[in-house]
Amino acid sequence: MKGLLANSCLGAVGLTLMLGLGMGNAAAAESKLPAVDASVSPCDDFYLHACGPWIKANPLPAERSIYGTFHELAQRNQDILHAILEDATKSKDADLAKIGSFYAACMDEAAADKAGIAPLKPLLTQIDAIKDKKQIAALVAMLHQDGVDALFGFGPQQSFEKAEDTIAAFDQGGLGLPDRDFYFKDDARSAGLRDAYVKHVTAMFTLAGDKPEVAAKKAAAVMAFETRLARDTMSKVDRRDTTKLNNPSSFQAFAASAPAIDWTAYVRDVKAPSFTQMNVNDPQFFKGLNDSIQATDLADLKTYFTWAALRRAAPWLSKPFVDENFAFYGKTLSGAQELRPRWKRCTDATDSALGEDLGRHFVQKTFGPEHKSRMLTMLDDLRAAYAEDIKQLDWMSEATKVKALEKLDAMAQKIGYPEKWRDYTALTVKRDDLLGNQMRASGFENAYHLAKIGQKVDKNEWFMTPPTVNAYYDASQNNINFPAGILQPPFFDFKADDGLNYGAIGAVIGHEMTHGFDDQGRAFDGQGNLKDWWTEEDGKRFEEKAQCLVDQYGSYKVAGDTSQNGKLTLGENTADNGGLRLALMALKKRVGGEKALTAKGADGMSPEQKLFYGWASVWCSSARPEAERLRAQTDPHSAPRHRVNGTVSNMAEFAQAFNCKPTDAMVRGDKACKVW
């Protein structure tokens, strides 16, 4: 699944309903000119020119490590969700009971503080009770049902080669630091983060009741074991090559390859349907996992499992645990200065656990049929633009163009919210059991997904909740998805004219469409099968053009000293560049051609210029250095400034629109990159 944002991929939650003009009423639309920094030339730094006023007017909140227009919209959406939930806690309406009880339990901070670690004790006792490594399988199954990330991942996956089928798949997992490289990079900052992590784990064990010297030994054992797991964990860049993840296997062969775990017992106890065929996303990881379990004392393994449980539960225990968890994961890793208010954390938790139940009420308040109608028109415009783009490519053969057009034509689209809402009847929620609700919600979600194994794929299912400020492309289903949460200003504004809307939500539509043809998406055909439909020569030409983007974005730095990873961000950079070009093509046709596109209106700005301002407006943001460095290592999306400047500097149309000289910073000239 390819999202517009980071891990929150694009972002967060939805907003006030903007009623207004239908599509094609650009002449009657409100101009809504952007505020710009006239002291910065658009040709020198378009991001600062377009976003400077917003950044100055929106200082980074203490609770945030990064804050931008995405998050501003997410906050408006969250305010709506908050109001719904506050009403739900007081309502006697059965339709609101479950979300109201979940939220009320989460908000009862006094009860959490009084309980301390007691709610987690039963699970910790079960971990401590195992006497033999043969019991690990049953223990991990229980932990996974409670939402504890231990050792590895398991769940349903669309078959790479038969996309209509859902199969079982095993995957890597079990690390407490954000990425494998955090365990091995030898620079001073990385070494400092590892030291801070060990101190954090020590502090958590101490809070759980261990003496400091015992806690320190346990933390060292956790670090040693996780480092072993990390050594065999596939890198994020390698995982971009989907062929490396396609490793079909029989369950019998897989179980025999890593006998340190009783896989039959695990599958039984996690309550998965029976299966014989499956996929192993990273066989080397499971070979290493087998060796690590065999080489590690049972006592140290139990310590690792205890830490995994503590890490999972910490945000929902008493204040000392919450604060210590934030001190490392919030402050040390990402730079946030203050813990977010509890109501925000609990609103997010309710959205995560009961997303479509809560989402139904959100949609009723924010998303009407006029939103969907206008989106459908824009989607048609962007689809037509992409077809035109493919047909006129000078580097792709006619044979591959035919296949590309077939895939584009088959690309499905979903707007706003699911056609059928999920049923949460089987999820037990108690008004006085915060941690229990969290774990039962994880078990409910786990059971929901495991039940898919052996079934046909439901292409109507959504993988983001309706209030989410994000969008995504699913390569295995060849569809693009736009939750109601993002279909609001500044992305989609009924009171703005076409130029700004096409630069914002139009470019997002183009972004998601382009994911179907980026370095990962192009490996799948129109039905979602992993299948090479390119001629060999066309594939080479694509890679040559894509390398230009790898080099360009790999040359950018964040926080003054950390390079972006051009390979990790290739897919998103391809989608940004392709999406904005497609939006410009669609806008040109919508307004009536080149002359109308470039003509200055009464406000002194052309539709073309407004498109570029619309693009910049959705990426305005500020970030702490820690967050910028963390994202550069782990996030497949480039920093917002580079998403804006990197994209417009590749477009001759931008230089023409703002009368930039060939020597200006926003003009790459003959070094400009273009794939789509």
Helix 507-515 with 570-591: angle, nearest 10 deg = 130
The type of residue at 396 is: M
Catalytic position from the list 512, 538, 572, 608: 512
Distance CA 251, CA 286 (A): 13
CA 174 to each of CA 333, 352, 500, 549: distance values in angstroms, whole numbers, following the listed order: 18, 21, 44, 33
Distance of CA 231 to the CA centre of its chain: 25
Distances 378 to 459, 509, 587 between C-alpha atoms, Å: 22, 8, 9
Q: What is the DSSP string of 623-637?
A: E-HHHHHHHHHH-SS
Name beta bridge partners: 615.
Answer: none
Residue 604 exposed, middle or buried by CB count within 10 Å (0-12, 13-18, 19+) = exposed
Q: What are phi and psi of 388, to 5 degrees?
A: -65, -40
Handedness of CA 645, 648, 651, 652 (dihedral sign): negative
Q: Which helix (H) or strand (E) holds 607?
A: helix 607-617
Specify which residues 278 forms β-bridges with: 168, 249
Residue 6 burial class via C-beta count within 10 angstroms: exposed 0-12, middle 13-18, buried 19 and up: middle
Beta bridge partners of 341: none
Give me 86's structure tokens: 């506050």
Phi, psi of 562 (to 5 degrees): -120, 120
Q: Is 30 a catalytic residue?
A: no
User: Mapped to the 3 state alphabet, what secondary structure does 363-409 carry?
Assistant: HHHHCCHHHHHHHHHHHHHHHHHHHHHHHHCCCCCHHHHHHHHHHHH
Given the DSSP bridges, would you call strands 66-68 and 152-158 parallel, antiparallel or unpaired? unpaired
Q: Is the bond leading into 59 cis (omega within 30 degrees of zero)?
A: no
Q: What are phi and psi of 483, to 5 degrees?
A: -60, 155
The residues facing 456 across adjacent strands are 165
Q: Do 155 and 169 meet the contact criterion of CB atoms below 8 Å apart?
A: yes
- 641: region left, alpha or beta (phi > 0 left; psi from -120 to 50 alpha): alpha
Active-site residue, from 576, 608, 626, 628: 576
Contact 225, 302 (CB under 8 A): no
Own/partner pairs, 125-131, CB within 8 angstroms, 24+ separation: 127/302, 127/305, 127/306, 127/309, 128/302, 128/306, 130/298, 130/302, 131/298
Proportion of the chain in helix, strand, coil states, percent, rounded to 5: 55, 10, 35
DSSP letter (8 states) at residue 16: -
For residue 322 the two structure tokens come to: 């919450």
- Bridge partners of 530? 524
Active site residue 512: yes
Contact yes or no for 147/308 (Cβ under 8 A)? no
Distance CA 210, CA 292 (A): 25
Q: What are phi and psi of 558, to 5 degrees?
A: -125, 155
Token pair 């929620």 in the structure block, residue? 429
Residue type, 515: H
Tokens of 130: 């195992």
Tell me which residues are annotated as active site.
512, 576
